Amino acid sequence: MFVMSLKGVPTGQLVEDKLCLFKYRQNVSYCLQLAKMTEMEDTVGLKLPILTEMTKLTLYATLILTIPSILASLFIGAWTDRYQPAKKILLIVGAVCGAVDAVANMLNVYYYDSSAYYILLPPITMIFSGGMLGLLTSFWAYIALTTPRKWLAIRMTIAEVMMSIASPVGTYIGGAVLNTNPLWANSGQLHNYMGVYMICGVVYLLATIWTLFMIDERKDMEAFQRDFGSINGEEEDMSLREEMANKQKQYDDNRHIHPIRLLFNCRNVKDMFTTCCKRRTNYVRLQLWLLFVSMAIFVIAFMGPIVFLYSFVQIIYKWDSQMFSNISAAGSFISIGAVFFVTPILIKVLRFKDTTLSLIGLAAFGGQNLLRGIILNPIGYYLSMPVGAMAAMATIGIRSHFSKIVEPRELGKVSSLMAAIDSVMPLIGSAFYTSVFNATIHSNPGLSFIITGALMSVPFAVMIWIHFFTVLPDFQSRAIEVDINSNDESNEERI
Give the CATH number, domain containing residue 15. 1.20.1250.20
Report helix angle 393-404 to 149-178, nearest 10.
150
> Residues 375, 379, 382, 386: is their CA dihedral positive or negative?
negative
Q: Say how far apart CA 35 and CA 17 lie, in whole Å.
A: 11
Render the burial of 356-366: b for 16+ CB within 10 Å, e for the rest. bbbbbbbbbbb
Q: Does residue 457 belong to any structural domain of this protein?
A: yes
Q: How many domains does the chain have?
A: 1
What does 323-378 look like in DSSP terms, one character per residue?
HHHHHHHHHHHHHHHHHHHHHHIIIIIS---HHHHHHHHHHHHHHHHHHHHHS-SH
pLDDT of residue 492: 44
The residues, any chain, with a CB within 8 Å of residue 301's CB and separated by 6 or more, are: 365, 369, 429, 452, 455, 456
Give the integer Cα–Cα distance in Å for 189 and 247.
53
- The pLDDT of residue 71 is 65
Q: Does 232 fall in a domain?
A: no
53, HSE (Cβ side, Cα atoms, 13 Å): 17
Predicted confidence at residue 185, as pLDDT, reads 61
Domain assignment of residue 334, yes or no: yes
Whole-number Å distance between alpha carbons of 354 and 374: 31
Q: How far is CA 358 from the centre of its chain?
A: 16
Q: What is the pLDDT of residue 85?
A: 74
Question: Is 62 a member of any domain?
Answer: yes
Spans in the chain with pLDDT lower than 70: 67-75, 77-78, 80-82, 84, 130, 133, 149-150, 153, 164, 184-186, 224-269, 272, 408, 412-413, 416, 419-423, 474-495
132/158 Cα distance (integer angstroms): 20
C-alpha distances in angstroms, 220 versus 208, 212, 216, 217?
Answer: 18, 14, 6, 5
The whole domain housing 300 covers: 2-217+262-475
Q: What is the pLDDT of residues 53-109, one digit of tens each?
A: 887 887 788 777 776 666 666 667 667 666 767 778 888 888 898 899 999 999 999
DSSP code at position 26? -
Cβ atoms 183, 195 nearer than 8 A: yes
Q: How far does the chain reach from its first CA to its final CA, in angstroms?
A: 61
Q: Is 226 a domain residue?
A: no
Give residue 474's region: left, alpha or beta (phi > 0; psi -120 to 50). beta
Residue 493 in domain: no
Q: Domain for residue 125, yes or no?
A: yes
DSSP single-letter state for residue 315: I
How far apart (Å, rounded) are the C-alpha atoms in residues 426 and 65? 10
